[in-house]
Chains A and B, each alone.
Chain A
């Protein structure tokens, strides 16, 4: 077997992996290139808006770095479906999960829903649909918060009291809070968010390198 990300031959490193078949699908150096953090990022963006408190908690497994950027470029951008396996083992949750939907036409081009596949080992409840089709990344934050909520409940959806919302990337938290607000409007009491990656808006990044300065 080869590493799904860099094509290098994978070493079977322990006897137990031979018996249990628990071999990792990427090599050690690719695995180590992701930045595992297990964080609950604080976001001030929704403070003071009507969205504040819609989401009860948020948890992210990784922080965004160049390896993660490369991963998403390949998995989501190029549509390399098999790469959903890279994280699917970690993304097993106990409760049923509600994926943040993507726009119909963009997933048609990609031929699969990237969030659903990433969390494929779970019991997925599709409760939401998206109504507008402006890409979040093409607007600034003020526009995002002011914009009316892009989510809608799917017709006939049964909303449970406790919900785990899932998405791939957590940036400002606006998307997640908007989805949570809709679910709470329709009867949910608790909405917890789980994302694979946490990322910061560009201008929030701080340079902390020291050493040789040129």
Chain B
């Protein structure tokens, strides 16, 4: 069928498909397509109705809201869990593919010419063993261990077996950082990059790179899904995302995990541990710096003196630096004209690139940049480290931004605080433990 690529592997609202209504109706009649209600409702008792969203599979009553709908002229329920990808209501028709699957041409197309360290090579061989014997695998690699290069090898094997693969990550920034490297490593492959606000390409790519939320759009599409940075918020907090990842797999497909700080909830058949960075230098150990009245200073539109000194020093040494803040509000209220980025910032991508290119000297950020950012010789400060948003895992990731290049394998990581927390202590000792391995 010539229009199969519009449908295969996807679950999408009728009105999003760029084909005429008659064409779609014909395919439905022929049985190549199936139509699902956007929101399924079932009445348990006269007073209790339960809902299920057929795109994101949420059944959490908290995710649903009802209002009078001008489209269907009646009370209509919609899903708030996946609304960022377009509103799915009771009156939405979702279309899935029922016909035969297309063949994937097996090909080995790795154009990356680098070499792996012995540790990376060993982890890759273990992973390849899992792929060959039909097992799921976890790569536990410290920040800067070179997990992406290990992933290249695994992707090459999956592709040469004629299997479809998606790499999913909870964080858009990680996706944006990964996309060019992946395209560089597989020059001839079509790689689709999906995140909130990205284009929605037609058909299934050779490789799909997507935020975990974007996997909601897929239905029986992939043989393998690799979850990168598997522990990052919000994936670890959201059970419906696990269901969505499973929905995107063909039956008998595999979920693999790659993470620097894996939580205990992730289960795979086999595991590999990489405790050393690719350049062999130890991880930078954070230092704690008291800034007892930082809140008072900030509310008076003053930079806390210890931080002021730190920034002045970085400027003098001409090192790029990142300052992490616990809240968007504190970030925005920070005095001065330093560029700042947060989750909703439209030019986040561009600002990070400017920092990398040395066009700007420093950047203020929320925890949104805790992962995936690789900038040579980067120095790190965290303001208000005692705040609960800075969990052990977040702090390990933040510290892992420093000392990533072989040229500058060290870097300053300062946690400014008004009281050392258990999470701060645990993050520091976890890093020290890994350094001793």
Contact = CB atoms under 8 A, between A and B. Distances in A.
Contacts of A212: 303, 308, 311, 335-338
A23 B40 CA distance: 30
Nearest to B362: A214
A80 B80 contact: yes
Interface in B291-343: 301-303, 308, 311, 315, 327-329, 332, 334-339
A18 B302 CA distance: 39
A29 B331 CA distance: 13
B78 interface: yes
Contacts of B89: 111
Contact of A209 (B65, B84, B302, B336): B336
Contacts of B332: 66
Contact of A81 (B67, B71, B315, B327): B67
A210 B333 CA distance: 11
Contact of B70 (A33, A66, A112): A112
Given A29-B329, A78-B87, A111-B87, A213 B71 contact: no
A213 B337 contact: yes
Q: Chain A: interface residue count, which band?
A: 20 to 34
A88 to B, nearest CB: 13
A184 B308 CA distance: 58
B87 A207 contact: no
A78 B78 CA distance: 11
A80 B71 CA distance: 15
A209 B71 contact: no
A41 interface: no
B69 A214 contact: no
A26 B67 CA distance: 19
B322 to A, nearest CB: 14
A13 to B, nearest CB: 17
B83 interface: yes
Contacts of B327: 29
A150 interface: no
B76 interface: yes
A207 B337 contact: yes
Contacts of A19: none
B301 A214 contact: no
B344 interface: yes
A2 B62 contact: yes
Interface string B92-130: 000000000000000000000000000000000000000
B68 interface: yes
A103 to B, nearest CB: 12
Query: Of B70, B86, B303, B339, which is in contact with the most chain A CB atoms at under 10 Å from its CB?
Result: B70
B331 to A, nearest CB: 10
Interface string A64-80: 00110110001000111
B63 to A, nearest CB: 10
B361 interface: yes
A191 B78 CA distance: 37
Contacts of B339: 214
Interface in A100-148: 107-108, 110-113, 117
A81 to B, nearest CB: 4
A209 B361 CA distance: 18
A112 B70 CA distance: 6
Contacts of A29: 327, 329
Nearest to B62: A2
Interface string A26-47: 0001001100000000000000
A213 B315 CA distance: 11
Contacts of A79: 78, 83, 87
A79 to B, nearest CB: 5
A50 B311 CA distance: 55
B337 A209 contact: yes
Interface of A: 2, 29, 32-33, 66-67, 69-70, 74, 78-82, 107-108, 110-113, 117, 207, 209-214
The 9 closest A-B pairs by CB, nearest first: A211-B335, A212-B336, A211-B336, A82-B65, A81-B67, A79-B87, A111-B69, A111-B71, A70-B344
27 contacts: A2-B62, A29-B329, A33-B328, A67-B328, A74-B83, A79-B83, A80-B65, A80-B80, A81-B65, A81-B67, A82-B67, A108-B70, A108-B71, A110-B70, A111-B69, A111-B89, A209-B336, A209-B337, A210-B336, A211-B302, A212-B303, A212-B337, A214-B315, A214-B338, A214-B339, A214-B360, A214-B362
